[in-house]
Amino acid sequence: MIAPDGLPWGRLKQPDRLSCGAAVLVVARMLSDEVYAGRVLPRFAEEVLATHRQVVGWWPRALGTPPWALLRHLPGRHRLARADFAEVLDAAGHDPVPVYVGNRVLPRHVVLVVAAAHGTWVVYDPARGGLVTVDAEQAAQDRLPFGRWHRAWFALVPRATPGRGSGS
């Protein structure tokens, strides 16, 4: 497992406007597998596009990556959950947590909470290629810092494993 500070944030930008979910999946895999990370880092954009083609299957590419595709391909076992700030904060202390964000009408972007620090989410935003922080007030007031996407819709929370914190 690579610590979130072990990746070159800023260089991990999604290669097109439809591949945020695939970029999140690639980064989640990189965080869980150092060998994969080393192999993929020099060709991150290519890996994201190949992953997007692989995981969306029959789903229209223009609609991005559906949550069931991420659930099927994320390292470890996850479940779909309401994007509860405290639950995601707790889970992110153990494993990365994908969160679907959007406007008040629908989810349109996927980000990855890679760590929890001082009561905030530390979030990989594939549109930026880097990290931002989100606090409880921003989440509660639908003021997330992801461009036009200010509201957290749902999260793919890691399931608890024996001997680990709740995270579920």
Reading the chain (168 residues) residue by residue, the pLDDT tens digits are 666 777 888 899 999 999 999 999 999 999 999 999 999 999 999 999 999 999 998 888 888 899 999 999 999 999 999 999 999 999 998 899 999 999 999 999 999 999 998 899 999 999 999 999 999 999 999 999 999 999 999 999 998 755 544 443
Q: What one-letter code names the amino acid at 132?
A: V
DSSP state for residue 95 in the 8-state scheme: S
User: Tokens representing 153?
Assistant: 């819709």
Sign of dihedral through CA atoms 131, 15, 150, 96? negative
Element (H, E) at 165: none
The angle, 0 to 180 degrees and rounded to 10, between the axes of the packed helices 20-32 and 44-56 is 110
CA torsion 6→7→10→11, rounded to 10°? 150
Structural domain boundaries of the chain? 9-158
pTM: predicted TM-score of the whole model, two decimal places: 0.92
What does the alpha-carbon distance between residue 120 and residue 139 come to, in Å, rounded to a whole number? 10
Cβ–Cβ under 8 Å, residues 62 and 87 = no
As a CATH number, domain 9-158 is: 3.90.70.10
Q: What confidence score (pLDDT) does residue 168 get?
A: 39
